[in-house]
Each structure stands twice: as structure tokens, then as C-alpha cells.
Structure 1
Amino acid sequence: MVARLWRSFAASLLALFLTAALWTGPAYAASDPAHWGDASAELWMVYHVVQRYHVNGADLDAFLEGAVRGGLDALGDPYTEYLGPQDYQSFLDSVDGNLTGIGVYLEKVGDYITIVRPIRSSPAEAAGLRAGDRIVAADGVSLVGESIEKTQQLVRGEPGTKVVLTIERPDEGRRFDVTITRAFIHVPQVDYRMLEDGIGYLELSGFGQQAAEEFFAAVAELKEAGATRLVLDLRYNSGGWVASALEIAEAYVPAGEPIMFEITRDERRVYRSEGSPLGLPTAVLVSEYTASAAEILAGAVQDYGTGVLIGTQTFGKGTVQELVDLPGGGAVKVTTAEYLTGRQRRVHQVGLTPDLVVEPYQPPVHLQTPLVADRVMTTGHVGLDVLGLQERLALLGYRTDRDGYFKGQTTLAVLQFARDHGLNEVPMVDKAFVEALNAAVAAKLAAAEWPDTQLEAAIRYLKEK
């Protein structure tokens, strides 16, 4: 089935490309030549006014690209966008798990581009970068307040070239530069291992062109290793090629049954399974980051009861985009349809509700907030600030009271912490002590192996099957 889908996808792109080629003149003009002429004249008039009178002039290429992006923004659809040639290639590479760069997953936290985690065996991992590190500059260009896209443009590059990153590590309270040599990186779409009692675990992180092949190969190896039940982790899968999701979904949808309905402006298409069920009781882990093609797969499992969804409500992206090549090497990613699950459930802006709702474990929120002390604490002091001190010392493994009184065991814990961190060995908590304590707590929280409550729930469910 997947070959047919890829051919269909390619044909639709070809048809769209031919339409785009005509769009530059006759196709639009034939439908409304007066309106096209007026709009074109207005655009050029604005450009010439800016070019002649603006203090900095106007760059024609930048002006026209801005006009294109502005026009697409006016649709109010965040998934329809213009991709310049470089962005287009980066998009294709990222979907298929092919990267040239240092190998990190990024997110924006406040004004900072923050490393979620380095990719296994990547240059970033070899350089010692870790989760929570902030990339504040690349080759001397500040990235504070900038987008992830700009960060990617500066960090990515040809294999063998070097980039100097300025890293801020909050848990150590320091900044440092690190030089990393870029490399070609392929990120596998699957990660799998055996758990306990014949339960296999398979994380599917995306739907590149090789995702289905990697999925079925992993399942075969897990079965060979003795797996009789499966945890399928889609919690951080934000989508990819629809064809790959449909091919994998055939493992959970009986032959002849619909996997997905696609509603376009002109027609209603149905995609039916031509496969056979996998035959493994499956628990599918989902979260608010499970989106798009991942929701097609999760929805298929839930529709036909061939597995159970465990976790939290999914993202709710139920639209399909196609890529339309442009003559200049860029593309328009345009929303062409909305999809429904095989049981005709709407996903867009709704998401999927798990069969078993399990929230992820959160470490104590108050310990994630740095301790603030408005006074120098010492023996005999009483208060909530002393209690906060005690709780943080206890988290770090120091034996202390937890009653808000600075005495006895608390005094000994403070002295031991000061000794361990090169501070003055006096029973006093001053600014230097608080800074060291906050850095130690942040490091502990970042490195801790917190319980995975959702995976634990999936294992309990499968043991009962």
C-alpha cells in the first residue's frame, strides 16, 4: 500500500507544480485579470515608494519574500508557510531524520534556546553538552531572544566545519565556549529494548520515509527476543509523512477497514488497510506533544481496540499539508485537507483522549524554584526560609530537620555542605551559600532519574493482558 501512496503523493505534487507554473500569469489572469493586475500594480507601487523614500531603501528580494510570507500569514493557518530553498531542504532532512550539524534537540524556554538532550553518538554528546544547557551565542552571534530557526541556521553547516558555541549552564552558574566539528547525523526513527515479563518497548520519534521499515524491523527483533506484548511510545512524536503513518497503522487495523478519511475542498477520500494486525497486545503512550501523523496512528489503534492509549490528551493537529515546489528552489507548504480517524472522529483542535489518563511525574514544584533568602540565616533562626533551606539540603542527601528551626541537625548539615563546596565552615547561610545551594539543587533535579509514571502504568496494564 505504501508504494501506491508515495506514487499518489508524487503525482499530487506534480499536478500542483504544474498549477504553480501557470500561476505566474495566465492561470490567475484567466480567472480575474483585472484583480490580478490591480494587486500586482499596488504591490509594485508600494515597493517603489519604499525603495525611493525609505531612509534605508529596499531590497527587492527581501521585499517580495516578505510580501509572500505576509500573504500566507493572512490566511490565519500556522501550517501554511513559505519555505526558502535552505529552509525547504532543512525541512525535508529533518522529517527523514537526516541532519548536518552538531546533533541536539532544542526548545525555547523564555528567551533562551535550551538543549532538551543531545542525540546519541553526536558531536554535541561527544563535546559534553547536556540537557538544560543554554546556547547563548554561535560564532559570537547572540542567540538570546532569537528563534530556534535562526539557531539552526547558525549551528548547522557542512560536515567537517567548526562552530564555536557559547554555553550557559545554569546548574553550575557558569558560561563557557566549546568548539564543535559538524557532522552528518542520521537520527533513527525508532529506539527499542526489552523490558520485563516479555514486554517490548519501542519509541517511534517521527514518520520519515524509513519509519515503517525501521518499525517492522524493530518489532521483528523484539519478537525474536521474546516479546509477547508491546509498549509503543508516541509521546514526543510530532508527525511526518502521512504515508509512513498509514503503513504502520495497517498493523493495527483489520484489512478492508478505513484507517483515515481525508476531507479536501473538493472530495472525501478514504484510506483502507491492506495489512494484518500485529497480534501483540499494545499500550500506546501519548502526550500533548503527540501530533499530526502520530495522531493518525494512535487514533487507528484506539478506533479498533487493538491497543489502549495511556497518558494525556494529544495535541490536536488534524490537517494535512502538501509541499508545492517553486521554480526558485523553495516551496509552499499548504494545508490541503483535514483528516478524520477511521471511525470518523475529528482530531483537529480536539486531540485524542487516552483510554487511561496518567499524568507525568513532576518533581516538587517548590524545589524547582531557587531559594531566596532576605537575611543571613544562622543558628537560632526560625521561619519558612529556614524550612526551604532544610528541604533543599534533604534533597541533596544531607541529614537535617524539617521543622523551620535552624538548630541541631540543620547546623551540622550546613557545615557539611559548606565543607563539600569549599565555603567558609561556619553555621551561616549567606549569599555565597545560597548560590551554591541553588546550583547544587538545579544539578540534582536535571540529573535525577524521575519515575516514568506513564510507562509504569503501561507495564501494569500489559501484565494483566
Structure 2
Amino acid sequence: MDSNKNSSQQENQAKNKIIKTGIIALVLGILIGFFIPRPQAKTASNTAVKSSSKQKSEYVDSVKELIKSKYYQPVDEKKLDNGSIKGMLDSLDDPYTTYLDKKEAQSLTDTISSSIVGIGITVLEKNKMIVIDSVLDGTPAKKSGLKANDVIIKVDGKSIVGKPAAKATKLIRGKKGTSVKITVKRGDHEANFKMERDTIPIETVKHKMLDKNIGYLDVSTFSSPTTDEFKKSIKDLRKSGAKKLVVDMRGNPGGELQQALSLSSMFLKDGQPIMQVQGRQKADLAVYRASKKLDGGFKITEPTVVLTDGDSASAAEIFTAALKNNKIKVVGKKTFGKGTVQRVVDLPDDAELKMTVAKWLTPDGTWINHKGIKPDYSVDYPKYLNMVFNEIKTPLKVGDVSSNVKVFQVGLTALGMHPGNEKGIFDEATENETKNFQNQRKINVNGTIDESTIQEMIRALRDLSKQQDPMQQKAVEILNN
């Protein structure tokens, strides 16, 4: 009895400390209880620590003074201080623990609130490279074909290699309706993606009927309106006759922890575990469970299937793991694998420190970091969605042989056209079908594969993938059997 009572008190203490911050944020009272060491050991330890800390502080200060006085040209003292902080954080080798100066902090706030004009990506600094962390659904970036883990090397032809994320973000953002060209490295290839900046959509849940009794919900991210939007969508689908559900978490980069807990709770019986949060010490464990407090008493009992892919991350993985633990089937590809929890701390001068403070575990205690969640049914995207165009410098024409021609031919075949071959050889059959494609899409009919034709092919294939969605088809098959 006492053990259960203490466990319940610990859970409630941890749950009361949830805050909204970035991708997933949680303030933890990590040390529950405390101990008092022997007085002798306490005095000796504190003296040693203070002495050691003082020496290290003086050492750092001496290096700083040397740079200020002896460096061959004047230096900005504030930049030195920021560099010291970033150096400490870099040593942790954790891309999610970062120092944000005033401009960078405002950039993060804008991203969280979705009140910006841009292309719809979040980025990380990793090994001095700018890496796309997530691509939001329904955004210019998603429509153009950018993917998580793409390494951004240029923005409008300007190299950003070795530049801070704030620099890249500043170049990518701009006025609504203006264009930006992003050059990325994907594997061993470079590719260009041109898109028009737009307002990042605030709507996080979309829904529709797939057939007479199966409802579909697409959750693009977890932010403040998600729970209310999800409930409204469920009510609308029920009115339309939905008896079964497909919940799409593909491309969902995560968001607010509270929203993930609320949505998960709707599908579980009160008391069932949603997730665990593990602090620095093994004893610092909090278990979050379904409750009326989380879901407002709104429960979903319809048979459900969840869709995931490699871009389903963070809060989307919390939701997926909670439902999978409750025997709800998962279809698609293995998820991203982000199993850590961040807290944002306000610093002087409007700066912020985003720091990893804990790891989260699935209901059965599994840490999915860098591993992801394996679906019950592995279903891949169509072949044409897994291919990528390399950077194109001059239009391709009859007689050219290249990987870009091969990718374009695969796309033509997927669209029901007949390019003659899929070996990357630009022959007359490919030229004829290229002209037919350009004519159908109402772009310049010249029979060559230029940048505008490639961008139009990317859009055409994305439209096709929505009509021919093998993951969605498998989910419907499962629900109908």
C-alpha cells in the first residue's frame, strides 16, 4: 500500500511540472527526496569542489583575457562568451542541447507558434552541418520533396557549410510568395529544391472518409490546438458514419508533450500507461497514465490503425508506442527514434538554453532513441518516392546519359507513360514522353529535362502518391478483415 501511494505521489509530482517547450519539453523535479551525507565528507567534498571550480574558472578567464589582449585583431567580448557556452554544449555531442542567443531564441519561438513565413522545416546543427530535423506536412518543403536528414549545403547558391543554424534560418525565411532554392546533400548525391515561401499552416489535424465506414485523420504536428481539432474531427467522422479509424502520423515531427498525452489517453482505459520519463538517476522515474484529466473523458473505442514513417518523431512516437502497447496495429516504416526530453531555460539578454534533461521510455520500458518503433506491418513508399534528382546544371536532352534521366524515366512510367527505357539513356521515346508530360502539366514544352520540369515531376509524383498510398491501403485491408 505504502509503495503504491509513494508511486502515485511521484507520478503526480512529475505530471504537474509539464510545460510547453519546443519539440518535447518537461520540467522535472528529478530528485525526489534527498540524503544528508556525513558532516566530515560534506565539508571536505564542498571545499574540494569549490577549489577545483575556482581554478577552472580562473583558467578560462585567463584564456579569455589573453585573446582579448594578444589576439592580432580586436574581438567582440560577447561573441567570446557565446562561443564558450556553445563549446561546452558541443562537447556533449547532443544536437538537441543548444544555446540560443536572442535572435535564435525568437526563431525557435516563431517555429513553435507556427506564426512564420518560410518553407516548413526544422533544422539542427550536427557535426558543423545544418541537417533537416523534420519537414512539416502541407508545407512548401514537403511538397518539393525535402526530407529529414537532408544536409543543407547552400541557400540560393550561398554556402552555409560550417555556418550556425540561425544563419541558415535567416536565409531560408523571407517574404511570402518569394522563391528560395535549397541545395542539399542526400547520401552521396546533391540535389536542388526550389520552392515558394508561404505561411506555415496552423491546422494540425485534417480528416476525411476513406470509404463508407472508415475515417482518416492526418496529424501533422502536436501543438496547442491539436487535442481540440482531433476531438472535433472524430465527432465529424462519427456523424459521417465512421466505425473504424486510420490515424496518420507520417511526417509528424512531434511537438508539445501535453498534446501527445491527451491524444494517447483517448485510446486507452484510465490507468493504462502512456509513457515513462527517466531522469539522470534510475530512481527518477515517472509513469504517465491515461486519465480523465488528460482526455476530458473523451474516449475512442473504434478499431484503429496507425501509419508511421521515418519522419514520425518525438511526440508522434510517444503516441504510436502508447497505442501499439494497447494492441493497436502500426503500418508503414520504422519511426525516427527520438527518445529524449528537452527543457528550455530562460537566460539573461533574452537568450535561452535548450537542454536534454531526461529520456522517455515506452510503456514497457523500452528506450527507442536512435532505434525507432518498428511497425507491425512494414510497407514501403512507392519506388518513385525513394529516388532523388541530383543537382542539374544544364538541361538534359537526347543523347545524354545520367542518373537524373533515369529518375525522370521512373517518374514517367509511374504516371502511366512510356519513356522507352529506365536506364538513364535519353532517347527519342523519352523526349516524346517528356513533351507529353510538359504539355499535360501546362509548362514550357521543349522536350528537355530542365529544373522547372523536374520540379513539376516532383509535384506530379506527390499527387500520385496520395492516390496510390500502399500504407493506407494496407491499413484499410487490416480494418476490413
Q: TM-score, normalised by structure 1?
A: 0.71
Match of 1:9 in 2: 18
Q: Note if 1:90 corresponds to 2:107.
A: yes
Residue 8 of structure 1: SS of its match in structure 2? coil
Q: TM-score, normalised by structure 2?
A: 0.69
Please, which of 335, 348, 355 is the counterpart of residue 376 of structure 2? 355
Deviation at 1:369, TM superposition (A): 6.8
**Among candidates 107, 117, 122, match of residue 101 of structure 1:** 117
| Contact kept? 1:292, 1:318, Cα under 8 Å | yes
Which residue of 204, 207, 210 maps to 2:219? 204
> Which range is displaced more, 448-457 or 437-446?
437-446
**Which residue pairs with 2:36 in the alignment?**
none
Query: Could you report, residue by residue, the CA deviation over 1:167-209 in whole angstroms, capped at 9, with x for unpaired residues?
Result: 4899xx999998x7x87x5522212222213222111122222
Q: 1:446-457 alignment to 2 at 5 Å? A: 446-448=459-461, 449-450=464-465, 451-457=468-474
Which string of whole-angstrom CA distances, capped at 9 and with x for unpartnered residues, describes residues 85-128 of structure 1?
A: 33223323323x422224544789x9999x978957xxx79xxx
Partner letter of residue 226 of structure 1? G
Counterpart of 1:334, as a letter, is M
- 1:267-416 correspondence runs (5 A): 267-275=284-292, 277-305=299-327, 307-363=328-384, 377=399, 395=413
Q: Which position in structure 2 is the counterpart of 1:253?
A: 268
Structure 1 pair 311/150, CA: closer, same or farther in 2 (3 Å)? same
Identity of aligned residues (%): 24
Say whether the 8 Å CA contact 1:112–1:136 is kept in structure 2: no
Give how far 1:76 is off: 2.3
Contact kept, 8 Å, 1:47 with 1:58, in 2: the verdict is no
Structure 2: how far apart are the matches of 1:436 and 1:374? 5
Root-mean-square deviation (CA), in Å? 5.0
Aligned equivalents of 2:164 and 2:103: distance in 1? 16
Q: Show the 5 A alignment for 1:54-203.
A: 54-95=71-112, 97-102=113-118, 104-105=120-121, 131=144, 142=158, 145=161, 149-156=166-173, 165=179, 167=181, 187-203=202-218
Q: Equivalent residue for 1:20? A: none
Higher mean displacement: 317-326 or 80-89:
80-89
Q: Report if aligned partners of 2:389, 2:407 keep a CA contact under 8 Å in 1.
A: no
Gaps of at least 5 residues in structure 1 are 17-27, 423-432
Asked if residue 239 in structure 1 is aligned to residue 257 in structure 2, the reply is no
User: 2: distance between equivalents of 1:400 and 1:210?
Assistant: 47
Structure having the higher Rg = 1
Q: Secondary structure at the match of 2:83?
A: helix
Q: Which is bigger in relative contact order (C-alpha 8 A, separation at least 6)?
A: 2
Q: CA deviation at 1:35?
A: 2.1
Q: Tell me which of 228, 232, 235 is aligned to 2:243.
A: 228
Q: Is the 8 A contact 2:408 2:457 kept in 1?
A: no
- Whether contact under 8 Å (1:80, 1:334) holds in the other structure is yes
Residue 297 of structure 1: how far off its partner (Å): 0.7
Task: Quote how far apart the aligned CAs of 1:152 are.
Answer: 2.3
Partner amino acid, structure 1, of 2:52? H
Instruction: Give the gaps of 5 or more residues in structure 2.
Output: 1-11, 21-25, 31-44, 147-151, 185-190, 440-445
Distance 1:255 1:399 in 2: 56
Query: Structure 1 residues 165 and 38, CA, compared in 2 at 3 Å: closer, same or farther?
Result: farther
